[in-house]
Amino acid sequence: MIDMAPYITVAIIIGIGLYICMFKSNLIKIVMGISLIESGVNLFLITLGYRHGAYAPIFTMFNGGIMTLPTPQALTLTSIVIGVATTALLLAFVIKIYRHYGSIDAKDARRLKG
Amino acid sequence: MSFMDQLPILIIAVPLLGAFLTPILGMMSKKLPRYTSTLFLAVSALLVALMAFEVYGGDGTPIIYTLGSSDPTPFRIVLEIDAFSVFMAIIMAGVSLAVSIYSWSFTDKYTGQDKFYTLILLVVVGSYGMTLTGDLFNLFVFFEISSIALSGLVAFRMNRGESFEAAFKYMMYSTLSGLFLLFAIALLYSQYGVLNIALLAQGITADGFTPLNKVVLALLIGDFAMKAGAVPLHMPSPYAYSESPGGISTLFMAASQAGLYGLFRASFTLFGGAISSMGYAAVGWIVIILGVLSMFIGVTMALVQKDVKRLMAYHCISQTGYILLGVGVGIAVLGDATAMDRYGKAAIEGGLFHTINNALYKGLLFLTAGAMFYATGTRNLNEMRGLGHNMKITTMFFLIGAIAISGIPPSNGFSSKLLIYESVFQFNPALSAIAMFVSVLTLASFVKVFYSAFLGPKMKDKEIKEVPSSMIFGMAILVAAILAFSLFPGLVLDTLIKPAVEALLRAWPIPGGV
Amino acid sequence: MKPMSVIVRTMTRSLYPFILLFGAYLVVHGHLTPGGGFQGGAVAASAIALAIAAFGGTKAYHEKTLALFESGGLLFFLSLGLIGMGVAFMWNFLAGSGSLFGDPVAYGSNPGYLNTAGTIPLMNIAVGLEVVGGLGAIMLAMGSYAFDEDKEVSS
């Protein structure tokens, strides 16, 4: 049962993130929800590489035994970098929307209806 | 190693080099970036043409190129190119060249032009990368590159607040779909331990449709349908198309075709073996239902629009529905060899032919809408009339595009729609009837646009002149391609489309012969 | 943005080189210990964030300098890939050859020598420069968006 703890955490984090994206109307909260989903997917990627009783996959000072898989860690790093870029872009858009519309509520930013 | 062996990576590396030289060149002179970026795009289009000769002249095995070493093992990043990949790359090459020449005079009044061309080159890099790669995680990285660069381009006009709203919505949807794509890739990696598409296809064919594989297929179809702009995931597309500056809508549409590429690659190459061995028609029916919804909702929403670019954006959604309908029929009969020979292959051919036709005539229509905006300063159809008196060349181009999209003979739209009607009729007659009805509504809405914008008395309060020559040259490239495809549809079908369909239905060889 | 008080400015002047040094250490040792281009570049960019917050954005850096870092870093990376084009893109032409980073790697576990692994440390340095430029430009832009009401960042 303790083996399943990271996977349950991933499910809870992605669930909370999806709830925020769907039901909250403050734009900054939506950006935070996207960031939560991203963290959940990154945690899922790292958990996939774990093997029982394994050490961290660092090449120097390694003393026998088994290592965890290093490939998911490289994938997670790429995903974190992409996440930084998208969060920065989304926040820049939120700043400009505030400048033009005067509020950061998604219900007020509706000039494009129709 | 000769030059031809290095072609696949040069197609991606040349625009990337251009994208990062452009800010440095922009610091030196203000007008230099536009010419150098067009030069880089022309060089990469030439490389795509060379690659097309090599792939279409070969015997059908994909070209495999490994990054970082000379022997291909599936644990390195491999680029695997077959006829379908080159087909989508040809579409992107032609459209990007037309857009970059069109944008020479369109961005005269804007500052920050070097960033504009950097973003265009990055979108082109992202699309080439998505279509040429053989590794699933590489697909995800290029997917994200193209969506970030596209949303930066949509928000380019900084003096109006609406462009930021549209860009925010598009970026939010793209990020969510990219994250779920990463989730699906993680699920596949955990089961099979590799990220290479050919090895994954082998594993999935051996395993069949376990519940995890069903979840993965659902996530993959959902993500790529969002990028392609299919209903019900189409929400940000009309806003993004209408708020982007002139030629960017065309580039947007060509980059959405890369989403269609991902969808077909996932259905045919990754899951094709599993679908055909189990005889599931449900996957095909899901794609068909997505297509029919897109066609119908797209064209009915387009009938009531007053903004000319948003009208064309809804038409783009409806034409994407045609493509999904055609290829969905092909997916639905994957397990049935006799039905595949009778009408399945013709349906996929119709869908792929419609892809390239859609890129050509829809791209031309967006460019003419940009020209109308440049001449009058407004996008509202109620406020413009009588443009045909002074803008004769633009009127003629618009007429050619409208005839092609409505499927009137002898245009290329008619050829691809006829293929789709005939093959879908043998599968299920009701779908074909819906497709013909949608085509009639398309013609009705374009008659409305032509009447209200180009006919009638002249506008009195503005002076209408013909648009500058670089914009006309950009549009003329697409018009020449439309005319060539209309006059020789059989030739195009035999040389370009049939090898692509054959390549799509064949299983991929494993790099290194493992 | 208005600069902050004297204490903050003095401490920033003292701490700034050490943060940059730590970031450079993470970048250069990327092939031996956890670290590498993005991680070290992000730490060095936090030094830039500190300077922007303490001194006020437009007095601390010019946007063009950071843009030059970004483009230059990536061009260096791409040229490293293209030099090895005789065999393949991004072929490691310096590993085991005895020149700049070229000692061969010993088998088994060893404490790790800095002089190994060919083009990988060079690519780490290129990515580190690029990340410093990119993240610094983002923070400069957001700082001036938020506080200077009428100044738009344009080139």
> Cα distance from C84 to chain A (closest Cα, Å)?
23
Query: What is the model's pLDDT at position C154?
Result: 41
CB B92 within 8 A of CB B258: yes
In this predicted structure, the answer to whether residue A113 has a pLDDT above a threshold of 70 is no
Task: Using CB atoms within 10 Å of the CB of residue B114, give its burial: 0 to 12 exposed, 13 to 18 middle, 19+ buried.
Answer: buried
Which residues are within 8 A (CB) of B496 and not within 5 positions of it... i.e. 6 or more apart? B56, B87, B90, B356
What span, in angstroms and rounded, lies between the C-alpha atoms of C109 and C96?
Answer: 18
- Average pLDDT on A47-56 reads 84
Which residues are within 8 A (CB) of A2 and not within 5 positions of it... i.e. 6 or more apart? none
What span, in angstroms and rounded, lies between the C-alpha atoms of B7 and B48?
Answer: 8
In this predicted structure, the answer to whether residue B232 has a pLDDT above a threshold of 50 is yes
CA C101, C104, C105: angle at the middle one, nearest 5? Answer: 105
CB B26 within 8 A of CB C155: yes
Give rounded-to-5 percent helix, strand, coil for chain C.
65, 0, 35
Q: What letter would DSSP give residue B2?
A: -
A20-34, A47-61, B475-489, C122-136: which range is least confident on average? A47-61
In this predicted structure, the answer to whether residue B417 has a pLDDT above a threshold of 80 is yes
Q: What is the tens place of the pLDDT at every residue in B378-388?
A: 778 877 777 77
Q: What is the tens place of the pLDDT at every residue in C12-67?
A: 999 999 999 999 999 998 888 888 889 999 999 999 999 888 887 677 778 888 88
DSSP string, B142-201: HHHHHHHHHHHHHT--TTSHHHHHHHHHHHHHHHHHHHHHHHHHHHHHHHHS--BHHHHH
A95 interfacial to chain B (CB closer than 8 Å):
no
| C65 found inside a domain | yes
* C-alpha B72: how far from chain center: 30
- What is the Rg, in whole angstroms, of the alpha carbon atoms belonging to chain A? 19
Those chains having 3 or more beta-carbon pairs within 8 angstroms of chain C are A, B
Query: What is the model's pLDDT at position B211?
Result: 86
Contact flag A61-C111 (C-beta cutoff 8 Å): yes
Mean confidence (pLDDT) of chain B: 86
Contact flag B158-C82 (C-beta cutoff 8 Å): no
Q: pTM of the prediction?
A: 0.93
CB B66 within 8 A of CB B76: yes
**B21, B65, B115: residue with CB nearest C75:** B21
Contact flag A59-C138 (C-beta cutoff 8 Å): no
Determine the 3-state secondary structure of C81 from DSSP. helix
Range of the domain at C118: 6-147
In this predicted structure, the answer to whether residue B34 has a pLDDT above a threshold of 50 is yes
* C-alpha B204: how far from chain center: 28
- Average pLDDT on A64-85 reads 89
- The torsion angle over the Cα atoms of residues B20, B21, B27 and B29, rounded to 10 degrees, is -140
Task: Tell me how far CA of residue B401 lies from CA of B394, B447, B451, in angstroms.
Answer: 11, 12, 15
Determine the 3-state secondary structure of B455 from DSSP. coil
Query: What is the model's pLDDT at position B183?
Result: 94
Query: What is the model's pLDDT at position A2?
Result: 80
In this predicted structure, the answer to whether residue B182 has a pLDDT above a threshold of 80 is yes
**A80, A81, A95: residue with CB nearest C145:** A95
In this predicted structure, the answer to whether residue B460 has a pLDDT above a threshold of 80 is no
- What is the Rg, in whole angstroms, of the alpha carbon atoms belonging to chain B? 22
Task: Using CB atoms within 10 Å of the CB of residue B491, give its burial: 0 to 12 exposed, 13 to 18 middle, 19+ buried.
Answer: exposed
- Average pLDDT on B350-360 reads 91
Which residues are within 8 A (CB) of A6 and not within 5 positions of it... i.e. 6 or more apart? A43, A44, A47
| C154 found inside a domain | no
Contact residues on chain A for B143, CB-CB shorter than 8 A: none
Percent of chain C having pLDDT more than 70?
Answer: 83
CA C24, C28, C31: angle at the middle one, nearest 5? Answer: 145
Those chains having 3 or more beta-carbon pairs within 8 angstroms of chain B are A, C
Contact flag B175-A86 (C-beta cutoff 8 Å): yes
Q: What is the tens place of the pLDDT at every residue in B443-459?
A: 998 888 888 888 877 77
**A34, A41, A109: residue with CB nearest B182:** A41
Query: What is the model's pLDDT at position C125?
Result: 92
Query: What is the model's pLDDT at position C24?
Result: 93
In chain B, where the domains are located:
3-505
Tokens linked to C40: 């070290």
| C153 found inside a domain | no
pLDDT band, residue B496 (cuts 50/70/90)? confident
Contact flag C78-B27 (C-beta cutoff 8 Å): no
Q: What letter would DSSP give residue C70?
A: H
CB B201 within 8 A of CB B276: no
| C36 found inside a domain | yes
What span, in angstroms and rounded, lies between the C-alpha atoms of B284 and B281?
Answer: 5
- Average pLDDT on C86-99 reads 72
CA atoms within 13 A on the CB side of C113: 12
Domain count along chain C = 1
What span, in angstroms and rounded, lies between the C-alpha atoms of C40 and B345?
Answer: 53
In this predicted structure, the answer to whether residue C144 has a pLDDT above a threshold of 80 is no
Percent of chain B having pLDDT more than 70?
Answer: 96
Q: Which residues pair with A67 in a beta bridge?
A: A55
- Average pLDDT on B130-136 reads 89
In this predicted structure, the answer to whether residue B288 has a pLDDT above a threshold of 70 is yes
A32 interfacial to chain B (CB closer than 8 Å):
no
Which residues are within 8 A (CB) of A111 and not within 5 positions of it... i.e. 6 or more apart? A101, B161, B162, B165
Contact residues on chain A for B190, CB-CB shorter than 8 A: 48
- The torsion angle over the Cα atoms of residues B383, B389, B394 and B395, rounded to 10 degrees, is 90
Which residues are within 8 A (CB) of C99 and not within 5 positions of it... i.e. 6 or more apart? none
Query: What is the model's pLDDT at position C46?
Result: 93
Query: What is the model's pLDDT at position C153?
Result: 44
Domains and CATH numbers, chain A: 2-101 (1.10.287.3510)
What span, in angstroms and rounded, lies between the C-alpha atoms of B9 and B129?
Answer: 9
CB B324 within 8 A of CB B369: no
Phi, psi dihedrals of residue B343, rounded to the nearest 5° = -135, -10
- Average pLDDT on C129-147 reads 85
Query: What is the model's pLDDT at position B495?
Result: 84
**Closest listed residue to residue B413, CA positions, set B448, B442, B453, B451:** B442
Pairwise pLDDT comparison (B109 vs B149), residue with the higher score? B149
What span, in angstroms and rounded, lies between the C-alpha atoms of B327 and C60?
Answer: 57
Query: What is the model's pLDDT at position B111?
Result: 65
> Cα distance from A67 to chain B (closest Cα, Å)?
16
Query: What is the model's pLDDT at position C41?
Result: 94
Q: Provide the number of CB pairs (under 8 Å) joining chain B to chain C.
A: 57
- Average pLDDT on B239-260 reads 87
Would you say the ipTM is above 0.90? yes
Query: What is the model's pLDDT at position C83?
Result: 83
In this predicted structure, the answer to whether residue B60 has a pLDDT above a threshold of 60 is yes
| C83 found inside a domain | yes
- Average pLDDT on B411-431 reads 88
Spell out the alpha helix ranges (H) of B229-281.
Answer: 236-243, 248-264, 272-278
Query: What is the model's pLDDT at position B108?
Result: 66
pLDDT band, residue B187 (cuts 50/70/90)? very high
Which residues are within 8 A (CB) of B209 and not within 5 positions of it... i.e. 6 or more apart? B274, B278, B280
- Average pLDDT on B44-70 reads 83
pLDDT band, residue C1 (cuts 50/70/90)? low
Percent of chain B having pLDDT more than 90?
Answer: 24
Name which of B4, B6, B28, B66 to mutate to probe chain C: the one with the most chain C Cβ atoms within 10 A of its Cβ. Answer: B6
Pairwise pLDDT comparison (A64 vs B485), residue with the higher score? B485
Mean confidence (pLDDT) of chain C: 82
Query: What is the model's pLDDT at position C155?
Result: 32
